[in-house]
Structure 1
């Protein structure tokens, strides 16, 4: 019998190879031939799935989103079921705290620059951020039901905070431990605001 091929898995393997290379030297210098070699495939097979580099890059944005969703799922599964700990786990999943996180953050940054020139990639970024913001609003509402914390504004603040902290860790301004401590201080401020007695 002929061997059955999992085409989705092949595409993910190609995207993973692209991301490994892009994490080392950015997107622009990566060729289809290099991706094929890194994926252990022929260039012709890669072109069977992606006619050109642009299509491969656009697919890879979805792969990165899947990786982020899996990281969030893993971190929340390891946390307690308390809403505050789940919110913290989600936010920590957005930071480059270990080598794999760092690689994916570097690739996401490379895609951000690509998005400035590629409307399709830019739209994928906007979709992803909207989904993340909506989820954060829900987690904040569950964590701080007192009504003394504004979920929409705090979601925007926390997203801006983790984005800035992520850049600071990548550039070596902060260690992962320092970034975690800064995030924890912000959550403690939210805890205090939620618990404050109305004046």
Structure 2
């Protein structure tokens, strides 16, 4: 009998090969031939999984996004709403890819972001990923706002957009060496802690009170 092929496993192996090559050479150095060799499959097998290089790259960037989301889920505490603030911190740290073990993912992710500036299909895929992350941050900010004892209630949608932009910026700054990972974690920690602090001083005048 012919051997059964696990197509999902093969596509995953190809995606991981794409990521390794992109980390070493950049996306311009990713070829179907080299991907096949790195994944230990034939050129024909790669072409049966993906009709074009762009289709292969789209799957690879989704593969990275799925891994990040999986790690976020694994580190997000369950239980009552009082854990939501901790869950938000864990999620933001994972999305920022600050750990040394995630440095290769960070390099590949930013390579995809740069390529998306000139590739509409890749840009559409990344926008969908960012939308999903923003939705997750919005939910966690809202849950944490209900559970932390404080007077301030930040706007979840606004804070989610800000946090997503912050994590993306920290990824880049750690990657190029502008910030050390510990400094980036401190920036992230201070930002999150500030969400629940009551602003000091008297409130600003309401419109028309002057």
Does the alignment reach a TM-score above 0.5? yes
Aligned-pair Cα RMSD in Å? 2.4
When normalised by structure 1's length, the TM-score is 0.90
What are the residue-to-residue correspondences of 1:34-183 with 2, within 5 Å? 34-76=34-76, 82-145=83-146, 148-183=153-188
Distance 2:183 2:103 in 1: 15
CA offsets 1:111-156 (integer angstroms, 9 cap, x no match): 1122112111110111111111111111000001266211111111
The unaligned stretches of length 5 or more in structure 2 are 204-210
Distance 2:50 2:101 in 1: 25
Distance 1:79 1:46 in 2: 43
* Secondary structure of the corresponding residue to residue 94 of structure 1: helix
For residue 183 of structure 1, report the CA deviation from its aligned partner: 0.6
Distance 1:138 1:78 in 2: 14
For residue 193 of structure 1, report the CA deviation from its aligned partner: 3.2
Contact 1:148 1:193 in 2 (8 A): no
Between structure 1 and structure 2, the one with the greater Rg is 2
4+ runs deviating over 6 angstroms: 78-81
Distance 2:173 2:186 in 1: 13
2:32 is aligned with 1:32: yes
When normalised by structure 2's length, the TM-score is 0.86
| Higher mean C-alpha deviation, range 15-24 or range 73-82 | 73-82
* Secondary structure of the corresponding residue to residue 96 of structure 2: coil
The number of aligned residues is: 198
